[in-house]
Amino acid sequence: MFTRWKTVDGKKRRYLVESYRDKSTGKIRQRHLAYVDLWPRKDIAKLVFLIQTHRKHMADSENTIHTKAFRRGALDKAVKMEKKIKKFVRNAALDVLPARRRVDRRRINQATGVSHLQKRIPCDPWCQMVSRAAGFTAAMDKLENEMPMEKWPAEMLDNFLEDMAAVQTKIDKAKKLRLEK
């Protein structure tokens, strides 16, 4: 199983496919499994694992070498795995909705197959600035945990001071306005 890119409605989409051999013609074909557009790699890997496990249980349930009880148990496991796959795909599609909200685009709901327009949620500039500041402080804490500022080379300190000069001017301006009020 592997992912392939396809252009749908002028947008590039990624989907999961697998190769198989057609039994009637003997030619190699490809089967579409799921759209995985904007999914992280770990989620794609988990979906592949779930599909392979489901197929293993289905093969065990159809193999006549096993006892009837074993085949019945394998079939129960396959049914549970199929439900788990559907739930995982639905939840993964819901997890990437915030990333899709960045732009207006017409989407097809994978669960229902209905086309709908997802509205872009307007972002407040103040909220964006606050969240970016919080992300910056978290990144600085992580950087200082890896290498304390006392151990930074002089060139790295100079670059940091130059990059933070614009932020410091805004802080000074805000302090001055606060004192005037």
Q: What per-residue confidence (pLDDT) applies to 112? A: 67
Task: Over range 3-9, report the average pLDDT.
Answer: 80
Give 125-143 pLDDT, tens digit per residue: 777 787 788 888 888 888 8
Domains identified in the chain, total number:
2
When pLDDT is cut at 50, 70 and 90, the band that residue 80 belongs to is very high
- The pLDDT > 70 percentage for the chain reads 85
Residues 105 and 140 in one domain: no
96: domain range? 2-118
Q: What is the DSSP string of 77-111?
A: HHHHHHHHHHHHHHHHHHHTHHHHTTS-EEEE-TT
The 10s digit of each residue's pLDDT in 13-30 is: 888 898 889 889 999 998
Q: What pTM does this model have?
A: 0.49
Chain mean pLDDT for the chain: 81
3-state secondary structure of 168: helix
Give dist(CA 104, CA 116) in Å, integer: 11
Residues 18 and 39 in one domain: yes
Specify whether 173 is located in the same domain as 89. no
In a shared domain, residues 130 and 103: no
Same domain, residue pair 133 and 148 = yes
DSSP 123: P
pLDDT, tens only, 94-118? 777 665 555 445 556 666 666 555 5
